[in-house]
Amino acid sequence: MICMGSFVDGLKLPDDLKNLDNKQLAIVAAEIREYMIQTVADNGGHLAAGLGVVELAIALHSNYNSPFDKIVWDVGHQSYPHKLLTGRWKQFNTLRQRDGLCGFPKPSESLHDPFATGHSSTSISAALGLAKARDHLGENHKVIAVIGDGALTGGMSFEALNHAGHIKANLTVILNDNKMSIGSNVGSMSAYLGRIRSDPKYSRLKKDYEHFVSRVPLIGKKLIDSTEKIKGGLKYLIVPGMIFEELGFTYLGPVDGHNIGSILNILKQADKITGPVLVHIVTEKGKGYQYAENAPEVFHGIGPFDLSNGLPLKKKKMPTYTDVFGNALLGIARKNEKVVAITAAMTAGTGLKKFSKEFPDRFYDVGIAEQHGVTMAAALAAGGMRPVFAVYSTFLQRAYDQVLHDVCMQNLPVVFAVDRAGIVGEDGETHQGLFDLTYLRSIPNMTVMAPSNEDELQHMLFSAFSQEEGPVAIRYPRDKAKGLELMEPALIPHGRGILLNKGEDLLIIAAGTVVNFAVDVAEKLFWQGIKAAVINARFVKPLDEELILNWARKCGCVLTVEENVLTGGFGSGVLELFEKKGITIPVKRLGVDDCFIPHGTRAQMLEYCGLDTEGIYNAALVLADIKAVREIT
């Protein structure tokens, strides 16, 4: 068991930080880095972002009194140093493992996590809510949001800045500017921050201005103070961060985010100011681990790796579904120049890296802006293009209304490549893709497909572009593909499933890669004398009614299997079909209960949900028994 940190061992954290000098704080920083790097090398996780905020986390916990004061980390992937400083040192090596520490802030894990995060750009809204609750209740703690420059590209953060400035809320927003989202950051705001960061003129002018006016007798100090309130004018030209000032915030910075003393000074300054304050700190993603500094995108989120050279421990033998999607899309885009691809800050994660290189003019990274991305896709389609929005299932949730109102209501041919659908594994409950079948199949005009293997995935993508005329979603998991040889892309007829196994005792209908488990289960059942038919649904919407009804009638009982919540999912669709057709045979639906699924490996959590071969087999046996009893009585 690794639990390094010999200096830290003798401390009571976070309180003792207040008694340490800068040199000792630097030792704490070094021990945090060492432990974080070792743990992520063992368990995998988000490394580069956390390494960049070690000094910030120390300064925050030295300056404030958590959990009395509330610190909200945006996204929360960078919260490891915070976790280490707030009573979780001993358990830290269980990070992201089943029953171990979560990779994101989680109030049920610690009082020091006042608000759960995982999805981007929520921290300022959360901090504002906490600050206003404090004011309503007559309490007096501080509230601090830490948000990255990437998360600042998300619209919600602007909505919150706009509101917090308007109501002059007392809160501090720390803008952690490392120039990076997962990859390079995009957009005008990022460029603006870059100008503040890199142009010494800004800082010099600010200092010169303050120096100049402070020397004007009597009115100088007043002038500086009142300039805070003057919009436009001289200050507009010379004060960095004016955009934040215009939104009602006092802007402080930029300061070096790896200098604990400087951060402490600016936090103390911020604490004296009434109303919302934005503190701009500049950090380096991956700081302190050479390989992460050199390749922050690779070390944003990484599997277990070799500490000595930063290389992954598990060599990639099999392509992932993401890889197959990326390659298949390239093939389609080469033949159809109307195909354009959109990502919301997930170019690599969604498999669009190659596309972005080969077709830079047909590729849009919109920033962490799923809502904008979807509406833009809708309009690209309205204007005659064939857009694909590649997105993780969990992040598409944010753009539900845009999918419904802008894409589906106009029946526009947007392809949604819904990656990380189903159980995602170690990232846990904020990242599970367990709702998309429900939220997509409930929208009129939407076609929803789920491939059972990578070959089917590329046929579905091909069909989506060549045959479908309205919106299409293809959902696939965060997993290695099966290693099949890929055939020439071919059309999958709209709404047609496929019978994989004949049988007369029980019908298993599965959607997605769980189809493979269903086939194994049918074989196991066969040796128990139960003949199970298996249908690969392929389409979750529209269902292949004829095929399903035909075999359901033959078998007399049905087991549905899906990697989605049961509420309103694929199995619900089958039940709705049976209700419509007056079929009253026993049906058992397997999927995820009405709860949030925590972290663990994908295999562990599939088992936990009863969605592995064993779980499906047991459910099939119970169902076969029910049918047998029914037949006797």
Ligand X SMILES: Cc1ncc(C[n+]2csc(CCOP(=O)(O)OP(=O)(O)O)c2C)c(N)n1
Q: What is the DSSP string of 284-322?
A: -TTTT-HHHHH-TTTTTSB-SB-TTT--BSS---S-BHH
The correct pick among 36, 41, 182, 437 for binding ligand X (CB under 6 A) is: 182
Stretch that binds ligand X, among 81-89, 149-157, 241-249, 403-411 (CB under 6 A): 149-157
The correct pick among 5, 81, 103, 148 for binding ligand X (CB under 6 A) is: 148
**Which helix (H) or strand (E) segment is 58 a member of?**
helix 54-63
The correct pick among 62, 110, 172, 178 for binding ligand X (CB under 6 A) is: 178
Q: Choose between 187 and 451: whose C-beta lies nearer to ligand X.
A: 187
Q: Catalytic: 589?
A: no
Stretch that binds ligand X, among 173-181, 256-264, 308-316, 416-424 (CB under 6 A): 173-181
- The edge-to-edge listing of strands for the beta sheet with 506-510 is 498-501, 532-536, 506-510, 558-565, 587-592
Note whether 151 binds ligand X by CB under 6 A.
yes
Preceding omega of 14 cis (within 30 degrees of 0): yes
Q: Choose between 164 and 174: whose C-beta lies nearer to ligand X.
A: 174
Burial class of residue 211 in the structure, from the number of CB atoms within 10 Å of its CB (0-12 exposed, 13-18 middle, 19+ buried): exposed
Tokens of 49: 């972002």
Minimum CB–partner distance for residue 370 and ligand X (Å): 6
Tokens of 319: 């392509």
Q: Are 435 and 598 in contact (CB under 8 A)?
A: no
462 Cβ neighbours under 8 A, 6+ residues apart: 328, 332, 489, 490, 491
Identify the DSSP state of 399.
G
CA separation, residue 280 to residues 142, 151, 228, 254, 571 (Å): 18, 14, 17, 5, 49
Q: Longest C-alpha distance within the chain, in Å? A: 102
Identify the DSSP state of 89.
T
Note whether 78 binds ligand X by CB under 6 A.
yes
564 Cβ neighbours under 8 A, 6+ residues apart: 421, 422, 434, 435, 436, 437, 438, 570, 591, 592
Minimum CB–partner distance for residue 236 and ligand X (Å): 27
Note whether 120 binds ligand X by CB under 6 A.
yes
The correct pick among 202, 251, 389, 395 for binding ligand X (CB under 6 A) is: 395
Stretch that binds ligand X, among 163-171, 196-204, 262-270, 338-346 (CB under 6 A): 338-346
Note whether 45 binds ligand X by CB under 6 A.
no
Stretch that binds ligand X, among 72-80, 222-230, 374-382, 584-592 (CB under 6 A): 72-80
Note whether 29 binds ligand X by CB under 6 A.
no
CA separation, residue 259 to residues 55, 96, 256 (Å): 7, 30, 6
The correct pick among 285, 459, 541, 599 for binding ligand X (CB under 6 A) is: 285
Q: Which of 285, 475, 538, 589 is catalytic?
A: 285
Q: Catalytic: 370?
A: yes
What's CA 107's distance to the chain center, in Å?
18
Burial class of residue 610 in the structure, from the number of CB atoms within 10 Å of its CB (0-12 exposed, 13-18 middle, 19+ buried): middle
Minimum CB–partner distance for residue 20 and ligand X (Å): 25
Note whether 186 binds ligand X by CB under 6 A.
no
- The edge-to-edge listing of strands for the beta sheet with 250-256 is 70-73, 143-148, 172-177, 277-282, 250-256
Q: Choose between 182 and 506: whose C-beta lies nearer to ligand X.
A: 182
Phi-psi map region of 312: left, alpha, beta (phi>0 left; psi -120 to 50 alpha): beta
Q: Are 301 and 290 in contact (CB under 8 A)?
A: no
Q: Are 148 and 78 in contact (CB under 8 A)?
A: yes
Q: Catalytic: 475?
A: no
Minimum CB–partner distance for residue 21 and ligand X (Å): 28
Note whether 150 binds ligand X by CB under 6 A.
yes
Cα 138 from Cα 519, distance rounded (Å): 61
Minimum CB–partner distance for residue 397 and ligand X (Å): 8
The correct pick among 41, 71, 174, 368 for binding ligand X (CB under 6 A) is: 368
Identify the DSSP state of 94.
G
Residues 46-65 that bind ligand X (CB under 6 A): 49, 52
The correct pick among 33, 77, 280, 627 for binding ligand X (CB under 6 A) is: 77
Q: Choose between 54 and 530: whose C-beta lies nearer to ligand X.
A: 54
Stretch that binds ligand X, among 65-73, 133-141, 174-182, 315-323 (CB under 6 A): 174-182
The correct pick among 247, 255, 345, 530 for binding ligand X (CB under 6 A) is: 345
Minimum CB–partner distance for residue 298 and ligand X (Å): 13
Minimum CB–partner distance for residue 430 and ligand X (Å): 8
Q: What is the DSSP string of 497-531?
A: -EEEE--SSEEEEE-STHHHHHHHHHHHHHTTT--
Cα 475 from Cα 457, distance rounded (Å): 9
The count of other CB atoms within 10 Å of the CB of residue 528 is 13
Q: Choose between 364 and 465: whose C-beta lies nearer to ligand X.
A: 364
Q: Choose between 299 and 465: whose C-beta lies nearer to ligand X.
A: 299
Query: How many of the chain's residues bind ligand X (CB under 6 A)?
Result: 23
Q: Choose between 287 and 538: whose C-beta lies nearer to ligand X.
A: 287
Minimum CB–partner distance for residue 151 and ligand X (Å): 3
Minimum CB–partner distance for residue 121 and ligand X (Å): 6
Q: Choose between 79 and 452: whose C-beta lies nearer to ligand X.
A: 79
Cα 291 from Cα 138, distance rounded (Å): 48
Read off φ and ψ for residue 117, nearest 5 degrees.
Answer: -135, 170
The correct pick among 280, 386, 398, 589 for binding ligand X (CB under 6 A) is: 398
Stretch that binds ligand X, among 124-132, 245-253, 343-351, 442-450 (CB under 6 A): 343-351
Q: Which of 297, 370, 429, 562 is catalytic?
A: 370
Minimum CB–partner distance for residue 231 and ligand X (Å): 28
Note whether 280 binds ligand X by CB under 6 A.
no
Q: Which of 70, 134, 197, 398 is catalytic?
A: 398
Q: Choose between 370 and 505: whose C-beta lies nearer to ligand X.
A: 370
The residues of the shown chain that bind ligand X, judged by CB under 6 A, are 49, 52, 75, 77-78, 119-120, 148-151, 178, 180-182, 285, 344-346, 368, 370, 395, 398
Catalytic residues: 285, 370, 398
